[in-house]
Structure 1
Amino acid sequence: MPEYRRILLDGAVFECTVDGGELVCAEGRRVKIADAAHLPPCEPGKVIAVHLNHRSRVEEFQTSLAAAPTYFQKPTSALNSHGGAVVRPRGCRYLNYEGEVAIVIGRTCRGISVSEAGDYIAGYTIANDYGLHDFRDTDAGSMLRVKGSDTLCPLGPGLVTDWDFRGKRLRTYVNGTVVQDGSTDEMAWDMHYLVADIARTITLNPGDVLLSGTPANSRPVQPGDVVEVEVEGLGTLTNHIVEGPLGIRADVGAQLSASEEVLSTALGGDWEFRGIRAPRRS
């Protein structure tokens, strides 16, 4: 399956193809993958993410799926890349990983059917839909700061075309230990459905990204941790966690919290506050 990556080389952006352990730029230069400064494999105008989709995640929260998928948006200022540092602001405690498959749009689409959606997809990449749950109580359901803070949307390492999303294994590792283990077959709504659903009212343009949901066992990570998301046929997205030099300003806005909802979401559905039955967002 063809795979394309975007890298920064000598101050310029290049799109490359993968050839074994090397990246081949269009003008012929070769760069070892291990030495490359990766960029996100596409340039989205918008990043849209589904809330609950994997059945294991639904079961973990002891809740039920809505009749149709619900979504939130991550600002493009949250974009990050393979090898990039994910910043947990000083004073925050609940920065959770969420390994996912990302859909990359290849053609402008609006009002298409599920059966047509595949024709509008350029390919797929890996995402880690990090959530800063310290802000969960303050966002009134929008997930803006929870999911949209800077660096919380790594994508990569490459864009893979002609990839069949069915029956693919997804695993997340923290410091080499498997912490999420799921399959695209446990998704309630598949990739084509998500594209067609969003495109009913929102025009999707080339480069736009849809995040398709995470399996169970999203948990907090700490500065110094290395997080890898491995998807069968798409490779491995690797990032490391760092503590930001700045805390959250206390003189403006709602402050960090650690309510029952924050804890039950950040630490898992089997937390002692499992009695909370409100519909969960990823």
Structure 2
Amino acid sequence: MRIARFSIDGNVAFGAVEGDGTIESGGLVLDIIKGIPYADFELSGVKVPLDKVRLLPPVLPSKVVAIGRNYAEHAAELGHSIVDDQGRPEIPVTFFKPSTSVIGPGDPIAYPSFSSELHHEAELAVVIGRMCREVPPSRVKDVVLGYTAANDVTARDVQKREKQWARAKGFDTSCPLGPWVETDLDPADLTIQCTVNGEQRQLGRTSDMVRSVAELVAHVSEAMTLLPGDVILTGTPAGVGPLNVGDEVAVTIEGIGTLTNKVIKRG
């Protein structure tokens, strides 16, 4: 099931996306959900065309926990290794993006005034469906609501010169999510693609992850309680590159769909 969050006539609701079309081609409708998707819910049978609503970020997370260097080729392109001096796998690089960084499909990415080198990073995002802590890898499926597309937009120059990544990766509009959550999906081997103005920049597969979704959720939940709607970003494949004002960046993930945002000058 594809679950979208949307607004119509000033009201916010969740709906199940139905139809074989796309956001661009049309033909999709939303069956409004009674309740919220983190508990038992029913479809109301009240349907509205998707092109008559405004899609919002599919979730409002209390936190976005992001993983760095989870694709070997991406780590290499930035000059990093994924093993230590003894040849053992490095502990996953973990950082936060605040809830204020989250935007939805079609929302603008505001180029931060303190950066001159903005990069795209296409990622598979895991959406948590229930409160959990210390989840073993074998039980991760029980706590995941589904998956969506993400763009870990990064002020690369700021990341390089500051010891912490909070400003470089946590500025307003730096975490586009969407267009919806796909609940029926195996994340083990999916194509991830990023285009800028229609030109392909990134192309990878989740099977190339250093650590699987199950390993990442287990690792994060070992340290902190995850709440319904929280998001874990699973890293980006090679090919990250610059974004400029006026660019349209699209992240497409097999089995989910396409998340599109335009870069604007920060007002």
Which TM-score tier does this pair reach, normalised by the shorter chain?
A: 0.7 to 0.9
Partner of 1:167: 189
**Percent identical residues:** 37
Residue identity opposite 1:170 in structure 2 = I
| 8 A contact 1:99–1:229 mirrored in 2 | yes
Summarize the alignment of residues 158-197 of structure 1 with structure 2, pairs less than 5 Å apart: 158-197=180-219
1:22 aligns with 2:29: yes
Say whether residues 1:64 and 2:63 are aligned partners: no
Quick one: which of 233, 249, 257 aligns to 2:255? 233
Preserved contact between residue 93 and residue 220 of structure 1 (Cα < 8 Å): no
- State the TM-score, normalized to the length of structure 1: 0.82
What's the CA shift for 1:92?
A: 3.2
Structure 2: which 5+ residue stretches go unaligned? 20-27, 34-43, 84-89
Q: CA deviation at 1:219?
A: 0.8
Matched residue SS, 2:218: helix
* 1:119 partner SS: helix
Judged with a 3 Å threshold, the aligned counterparts in structure 2 of structure 1 residues 243 and 227 are, in CA distance, closer, same or farther, namely same
Matched, 1:94 2:117: yes
Q: Which stretch of the first structure deviates more once superposed, 71-80 or 60-69?
A: 60-69
- How big is the shift at 1:41? 0.8
Match of 1:254 in 2: none
| 1:108 positional shift | 1.4
CA distance in 1, matches of 2:203, 2:66: 20
Preserved contact between residue 112 and residue 171 of structure 2 (Cα < 8 Å): no
Q: Which amino acid aligns with 2:156?
A: H
TM-score of the pair, normalised by structure 2: 0.87
Q: Work out whether 1:243 is the aligned partner of 2:250.
A: no
Corresponding residue number in structure 2 for 1:251: none
Alignment of 1:1-282 (within 5 A): 2-20=1-19, 21-26=28-33, 28-66=45-83, 67-90=90-113, 92-140=115-163, 142-245=164-267
Q: CA deviation at 1:36?
A: 2.7
1:171 counterpart SS class:
strand
Deviation at 1:226, TM superposition (A): 0.6
> Structure 1: which 5+ runs fail to align?
246-282
Change (3 A) 1:90 1:59: closer
> How many pairs align?
243
> Structure 1: how far apart are the matches of 2:154 and 2:108?
15
What is the rounded CA distance, in whole Å, between the counterparts of 1:125 and 1:43 in structure 2? 13
- Counterpart Cα distance in 2 of 1:35 and 1:222: 30
C-alpha contact 2:70 2:235 (8 A) present in aligned 1: yes
